Amino acid sequence: MFLPPLLLLLLSTATAAVEVKRPRGVSLTNHHFYDKTKPFTCLDGSSTIPFDQVNDDYCDCQDGSDEPGTAACPEGRFHCTNAGYKPHYIPSSRVNDGICDCCDATDEYNSGVVCENTCREMGRKEKETLEQMAEVAREGFRLKKILIEEGKRGQEEKRSKLLGLQESKKALEEQVAMLRAVKEEAEKPEKEFKERHQKLWEEQQAAARAARDQEQAASAFQELDDNTDGVISVAELQTHPELDPDGDGALSEAEAQALLGEALQVDAISFQEGLWAAIKDKYRQESLPTVPPLAEAPAEEILEVPEEPSPVEDEDESPGLDEETEEDEEDEEEESPEEDKEPLPPQSVKVDEEVKDKMPPYDERTQAYIDAAQEARDHFEEAEKSLTEMEESIRNLEQEMALDLGPSGEFSYLFGQCYELSTNEYIYRLCPFNRVTQKPNHGGSETNLGTWGSWDASEEDKFRIMHYEHGTGCWQGPNRSTKVKLVCGKETVITSATEPSRCEYLMELVTPAACQEPPPETPGDPDHDEL
């Protein structure tokens, strides 16, 4: 409240016009204790002395009340009347010490120092300051009433919006449930036909692997059957030392017999059904059957063969030479297809194998089921996302409406806003009802000084101080926290940010919402300009 000090000034001026006889240094409120027609009793009741011992420059009372106008008592107090300004007390030890403590100069009555009475000028400045503060309070309260009305409208709008969202949520939940059923129904044939396609492909892969294995087994049998008698013997197995089971680099007769089992030899059928499975992981072919003999020739020679001009076209040669040339051409024609079978580099072979192992595209019917199911999933996911966003909006709105935004909702305009204060070192950022942060001016990460906790219930007016808690922890210390003191003003601005205790911050926020209703103005005397 800003007017009582102003009224106090006016009161001091009015009373100063009536002079009440009392000892020097005694206040007007205490003058009745100092009746010169009676003995004086110390204000603490410790003793009673003749009145002529008051202000005799000798301390008789323990509380110093007998010497208010001298420096005799260490506990004494001298009252500065300060007509035209604010009266106040000073220690009696400062009386006549050569320094002007009272603006009316009454404390230096016997020091020889000439003090100027500055009370009227100080009173005038004080009055101007108080009038400015009163004007700020009046204007701030006017703005506060506007904020209250805006807050009420805002709350009504939020309630209406919340009801609308809750109604929309019900309809959207029904839509999501319907789209989920459509999706699940569309996924049934999709799953069935995809599994059918997968199974068919896996069967084809298994058949192809079996055919390749059978082909490799036949090739291996032919290679192992050195004498082409249709069976493989122990001696023939021993020609492949890589089949050695004990790793000594040689396949002994006993080890070869162990591979054959009880039989002395195996035919092609027995080889494929039994022996091949036991040796195929170790078995190495002596030569690649798919590579023709010419593949061993240098690549340059193979590439140059089709580019050689025919001698028949250039010269007339003997019939024998023509026959040789025709035979060579026939050989070249026979070899050309084999050249096309030249093995690709390892990388190309690997790519071919990957392509071969890749599942083929779905047939038209299966793909149609997949497309239909995907479309149903897209519609469902889009609706489900909208429902999630709506639920989040409802939660945020309910949390906002549950906030204590003042007795009349005057602080509601602060919600969702942020205010900054730049100092020499930091930029402080306050987002009311959310968080407080601190960031270095010259780069660096942001530090959380606390998130919204509560109003200060310990204060008589709890809406004077905000508490922000559980900020970033200090090194070997507590978590940071901030108190925000709200001060009446016409604008909303942070005026200060300090750290009075380690990891405990104090900010001051000026806001019209903190202004209280001022008392009614008292009509003054326009002709009287005491202050």
Give the chain's mean pLDDT: 82
Closest CA to 399 of 388, 387, 407, 391: 391
Q: What percent of the chain has pLDDT over 90?
A: 52
Give CA–CA dist 181/174, Å, rounded: 11
Is 223:253 a contact under the CB 8 Å cutoff? no
pLDDT at 321 over 50: no
Cα–Cα separations (whole angstroms), residue 105 to 79, 96, 154: 11, 10, 58
pLDDT band at 227 (very low <50, low <70, confident <90, very high): confident
Q: What is the pLDDT of residue 231?
A: 85
Q: What is the pLDDT of residue 19?
A: 58
Interval 472-521: pLDDT, tens: 999 888 999 999 999 999 999 999 999 999 999 999 999 999 999 888 76
Q: Is 407 helix (H, G, I), strand (E, B) or coil?
A: coil
Give CA–CA dist 283/244, Å, rounded: 10
pLDDT at 317 over 50: no
Q: Which residues pair with 41 in a beta bridge?
A: 48
pLDDT band at 346 (very low <50, low <70, confident <90, very high): very low
Q: Which residues pair with 473 in a beta bridge?
A: 479
pLDDT band at 234 (very low <50, low <70, confident <90, very high): confident
Q: Is 287 helix (H, G, I), strand (E, B) or coil?
A: coil
Closest CA to 290 of 232, 238, 246, 344: 344
Q: What is the pLDDT of residue 488?
A: 94
What is the mean predicted confidence (pLDDT) over 303-328? 42
Q: What is the pLDDT of residue 356?
A: 61
Interval 53-71: pLDDT, tens: 999 999 999 999 999 999 9
For 37-73, b where at least 16 C-beta lie within 10 A, e where not — what string? eeebebeeeeeebebebbbeeebbbeebbbbbbbbbb
What is the mean predicted confidence (pLDDT) over 422-446? 93
pLDDT band at 316 (very low <50, low <70, confident <90, very high): very low
Closest CA to 137 of 472, 511, 394: 511
Q: Which residues pair with 429 in a beta bridge?
A: 420, 437
What is the mean predicted confidence (pLDDT) over 121-141? 89
What is the mean predicted confidence (pLDDT) over 438-450? 92
Q: What is the pLDDT of residue 345?
A: 45
Q: Which residues pair with 481 in a beta bridge?
A: 504
Give CA–CA dist 174/311, Å, rounded: 87
Going by C-beta distance under 8 Å and a sequence separation of 6 or more, which residues neighbour residue 432? 411, 414, 415, 417, 419, 452, 466, 484, 509
Q: What is the pLDDT of residue 495?
A: 96
pLDDT band at 4 (very low <50, low <70, confident <90, very high): low
Give CA–CA dist 357/349, Å, rounded: 12
pLDDT band at 355 (very low <50, low <70, confident <90, very high): low
Q: What is the pLDDT of residue 258?
A: 80
| pTM for this model (two decimals) | 0.57
Q: What is the pLDDT of residue 480?
A: 96
Q: What is the pLDDT of residue 524?
A: 52
Cα–Cα separations (whole angstroms), residue 464 to 404, 446, 484, 511: 13, 27, 8, 11
- Domains along the sequence of the chain with CATH: 20-116 (no CATH), 122-284 (1.10.238.10), 412-514 (2.70.130.10)
229 or 50: which carries more pLDDT confidence? 50
DSSP 106: G
pLDDT at 334 over 90: no
For residue 344 the two structure tokens come to: 């690709």
Going by C-beta distance under 8 Å and a sequence separation of 6 or more, which residues neighbour residue 231? 225, 265, 266, 267
Of the given ranges (40-54, 125-139, 220-234, 382-396), which has the lowest mean pLDDT?
220-234
pLDDT band at 358 (very low <50, low <70, confident <90, very high): confident
pLDDT band at 343 (very low <50, low <70, confident <90, very high): very low
Give CA angle at 477 (473, 479), nearest 5°: 35
Q: What is the pLDDT of residue 260?
A: 80
pLDDT at 342 over 70: no
229 residue type, one letter: D
Is 43:33 a contact under the CB 8 Å cutoff? yes
Q: What is the pLDDT of residue 240?
A: 83
Interval 284-308: pLDDT, tens: 876 554 444 443 334 333 333 334 3
Q: What is the pLDDT of residue 301?
A: 35
